[in-house]
Amino acid sequence: MTYQTVSQFHSNSAHRDAPVKPLVVKQNPLQYYPQQSVSTQQQHHQQQQLNTYSFEDVALCRAMTAWIAEDAEALNFANAQHYLRLIREIMVLINPHSVKDNLLMSAVFYADRFVKRRGVKLEEPRKAFLVLLISALVTIKMWEDFEVKTETLQRFTGISKKQLSVLERQFLGVLEYSLCYSYEEMASFQIEWCFPQAPMA
């Protein structure tokens, strides 16, 4: 199944012109799926390593951490980065061209739009991974006109084909099946998370 929506996005889109990143695909990327507990020392070490992450990944992780409800356990940066890496690897397993076209940015954009339109933030950090997974599925179908074999996702995530289908319909329902976006909308999304406002005094 692919979406035949006409896109308003310009040819200089964020995912078409981004540089290709080297990637090592694990046989089963979800073997480390459970949320990792991080000690204070590990958090300090991860903070020191923050400058090793790409500017784009930092922005995407910021967006993801904002999806979690305030009264829930926070999604820390290390786990957000971990989820992004897993989603990137899964997207490559589905379609090797997805990294070349940098579809991860579009996947996070749709997921961010989903959370905002849903009106209720996610109840726990792990749901950020699930939302991003379904968004990645939708993104590949939309932008690559690519038939995704859900058997692949079922094998690597443990989520049944039927459940994936239900989740995809729910995701698209919240977005009202509107997957078109303009260059300005994507640029606004990137600016929002690349240059967050300073906290109020």
The pLDDT value recorded for residue 40 is 62
Report pLDDT for 177: 93
Query: 121-169: per-residue pLDDT in tens?
Result: 999 999 999 999 999 999 988 888 777 777 878 888 889 999 999 999 9
Q: What is the mean pLDDT of the chain?
A: 76
Residue 26 lies in a domain: no
165 domain-assigned: yes
Kindly state whether residue 39 falls inside one of the protein's structural domains: no
How far apart CA 136 and CA 104 sit, in angstroms, is 7
Given a cut of 70, whether residue 50 has pLDDT beyond it is: no
The total number of structural domains in the chain stands at 1
Task: Give residue 128's pLDDT.
Answer: 95
Residue 121 lies in a domain: yes
Is 63's pLDDT higher than 90? yes
Q: Please give the pLDDT value at position 41.
A: 60
Non-local (6+) Cβ contacts of 142 within 8 A are 2, 3, 5, 7, 106, 179
* DSSP labels, 124-148: STHHHHHHHHHHHHHHHHHHH----
Residue 172 lies in a domain: yes
pLDDT at 51 over 70: no
CATH code at position 104: 1.10.472
Name the band, by pLDDT with cuts 50, 70 and 90, for residue 74: very high
Query: Does the residue 10 lie in any domain?
Result: no
Q: What's the pLDDT score for residue 55?
A: 74
Q: Residue 44 domain-assigned?
A: no
| Three-state SS at 48 | helix
Q: What is the pLDDT of residue 144?
A: 80
Domain assignment present for residue 37? The answer is no
pLDDT at 15: 45
Domain residue limits at 126: 49-190
pLDDT of residue 44: 55
